[in-house]
Amino acid sequence: MERACVEDMKGAEIGDKRMVPVTQKAVEARGICKSYKSFFGRPATVLSGIDLDVEEGEIFGLLGPNGSGKTTLISILSTLIYPEGGSLFILGMDARRRQGDIRKAINISSAKPNFPWSLTVAENLRHYGMLYGLYGGQLSRAVEEQIAAFELEEFRDMRFENLSTGLKQRLSIAKAMMNHPRLLFLDEPTTGLDPDMSKKTRELIRRIHSEENISVVLSTHYMPEAEILCHRVAFLRKGRIAALDTPRNLKRQLSIGERVAVTYEGEVDISALQRMPGVLGLKAAPGCVEIMIDRRDGGNGGDSLDGIIKLFSRARILNLDIKEPDLEDVFIELAR
Amino acid sequence: MSWQGELNKYLASAYKNWITSKRNIFTVFELFFWPLISLLSIGLLTRFLDVEGSMVSFLLVGAIGLTILQVAQIDVAYVLLFDMWSKSIKNTFIAPVRSYHLVFGAALFGIMRGSVVFIILAGVSHYLFGFKFQEGGLIPVLIFLAGVFAMAVVIGITVCISILTFGQKADVAAWSLSGLIMLVSGIYYPVEVLPPLFQAFARLLPLTYFLEYYRSIFIPGQHHLAAGVFLAAFYIVLGLFLLDRAIERARRTGILLRLSE
């Protein structure tokens, strides 16, 4: 893994000549596994055999249902906890040997952010800035910079315990930016936020990513969020990566077709619909039917749509809606 | 990293403890109420029993010692307790800090609070009970305080290790351990009155030697201060080593994550 000597490496001390890979990845994980042992009973496996590469500058999404291992994986990647097996390189540094250097160069914003309750927004940022070794004018500037960047001026003297969920989330991301990390971990950054605040948070993430030119690993179970933000996503299911690719490729690979929803009056031969070439699946109820058709290159979807409409010749179509597949469909497909 | 940056890593814990304490009404009880109750009850008892002057000092040294030990050690323990109660422990351990940054930063604040309590109690006991805490000069007072604070650091580290090993339930150690240590170190009596097994245990505690040293000013007697200094230094180094191991274990078992949820 150690391929070349790079003199000026962000995150390490100035003049620190250490061997790091030339083609550096933000995350390079191989065979990561983790189980939690209870005092009584068998250990519960949370992650097994996770292989993962995150390129520098990429926004990478970790998706999966509750309990799929997202938070554990993010905690391992951010060096908070250790894996039981496998190898892990963060920003080209071995996570077993150079945790100190890694921690200088990364940061995390947790799901359900928590900070010392009685410290205000500014005091919390100051406290964590101090833990990262900031001092004097540099520390004060960093606090003010983050307060301004995350529009927290109005709340700077408000104690953490009195902040709304949205403000807590903003403070959490602001804290995570105090050391200007090269790799930022965001664990469910919009959980518990209303749609407006979720949208603002997503815009914030996108802005940080482009302005600071950093790599981001974010976990979420909101599919649209991953689709909007992430260059690539990995689906976790029962502690394993069930799929990993760009959102677009995933939808294609999984043969998730378009959904054609038809509301009608009259008679329709449902079994004939099911037998049509290009029809991947069908859900029928009195007066409405939802058909999944394959319209990929080489699929029979185009013909299917014509055929479908023909089969409604003895009925009156009240409404016809064609919907592109989204990550939600991928999620449902993979979670099966 | 520059020395100012390194210094700030230590001061971060002191800063957090300072802000949290000043906004917590319970601090008033910690600094004034309980210490004064403890001091006055012992002082008044000596009056009732008509204890002679040097013995009053002997007993008040125990009462004052216990109080400042409790105040200082809880501050060291607070470095993790505040994080554990607010479920923000992962934010601390994701930062590039070591166990000694956390412990010594918190200890610094504990020493400040302990010193304030000592000044109050020494003043009150001097005024009400004629206790001359500076009878042997300032150096013995400072040595005694250093010994109590060193023991406080050791107890605080032990509490932190317990939290990281056993989780939230271990916070009871924060309030009980100092009482137990004082009991064995000879809070209101020479350790010779303890059963032999406890006497042996007392000889393993640095506080025993610091109490004997300071009390020898009021009631002349033997002391082995050097043994106390050696033990205190040994336990602090050992404590930091074990704390590092406990942090490593907490990262391995995932307890750090559970303490944040």
Chain A residues near residue B97 by CB distance under 8 angstroms: 131
Q: Is B16–A126 a contact, with Cβ atoms under 8 angstroms apart?
A: no
Q: In which element (H, E) is residue A243 found?
A: strand A240-245
Structure tokens at A282: 């069908």
User: Residue B68 CA to chain centroid, in angstroms?
Assistant: 6
Q: Is B95–A116 a contact, with Cβ atoms under 8 angstroms apart?
A: no
Q: In which element (H, E) is residue B31 found?
A: none
Tens of pLDDT along A124-150? 999 999 999 999 999 999 999 999 988
Task: Give how far A108 is from chain B: nearest CA, Å.
Answer: 8
Are B155 and B177 contacting, i.e. CB atoms less than 8 angstroms apart? yes
Tens of pLDDT along B152-190? 999 999 999 999 998 888 888 878 888 899 899 988 899
Tens of pLDDT along B42-77? 999 999 999 888 889 889 999 999 999 999 999 999
Dihedral over alpha carbons B249, B254, B255, B259 (to 10 degrees): 140
Task: Give how far A132 is from chain B: nearest CA, Å.
Answer: 6
B168 touches chain A (CB under 8 A): no
C-alpha atoms less than 13 angstroms from C-alpha of B253 in its C-beta half-sphere? 17
Query: What pLDDT is recorded for position A65?
Result: 82
Residue in chain B closest to A15 (alpha carbons) equals B1
- Picking from A135, A213, A220, the residue whose alpha carbon sits closest to that of residue B2 is A135
From A80, A106, A160, residue closest to B257, measured CB to CB: A80
Q: What is the pLDDT along chain A (336 residues), one digit of tens a residue?
A: 333 333 333 333 333 333 444 457 999 999 999 998 776 667 888 999 999 999 999 999 998 888 889 999 999 999 999 999 999 999 999 999 999 999 999 999 988 889 999 999 999 999 999 999 999 999 999 999 999 988 899 999 999 999 998 899 999 999 999 999 999 999 988 887 788 888 888 888 998 898 888 999 999 877 778 888 999 999 898 899 988 988 877 766 665 667 788 999 888 888 888 888 778 778 888 889 988 776 554 445 556 677 788 888 888 888 888 876 666 666 666 666
Chain A residues near residue B6 by CB distance under 8 angstroms: 133
Show the CA angle centred on residue A114, arms to residues A113 and A118, nearest 5°.
140
Beta strands A25-36; A44-55: pairing state: antiparallel
How does residue B28 score in pLDDT terms, banded at 50, 70 and 90? confident
Residue in chain A closest to B250 (alpha carbons) equals A81
Residue in chain B closest to A96 (alpha carbons) equals B248
Tens of pLDDT along B216-239? 988 888 889 999 999 999 999 999
Q: Is A118–B94 a contact, with Cβ atoms under 8 angstroms apart?
A: no
Chain B residues near residue A16 by CB distance under 8 angstroms: none
Q: Is A114–B2 a contact, with Cβ atoms under 8 angstroms apart?
A: no
Chain A residues near residue B87 by CB distance under 8 angstroms: 114
- Picking from B197, B196, B174, B198, the residue whose alpha carbon sits closest to that of residue B184 is B198
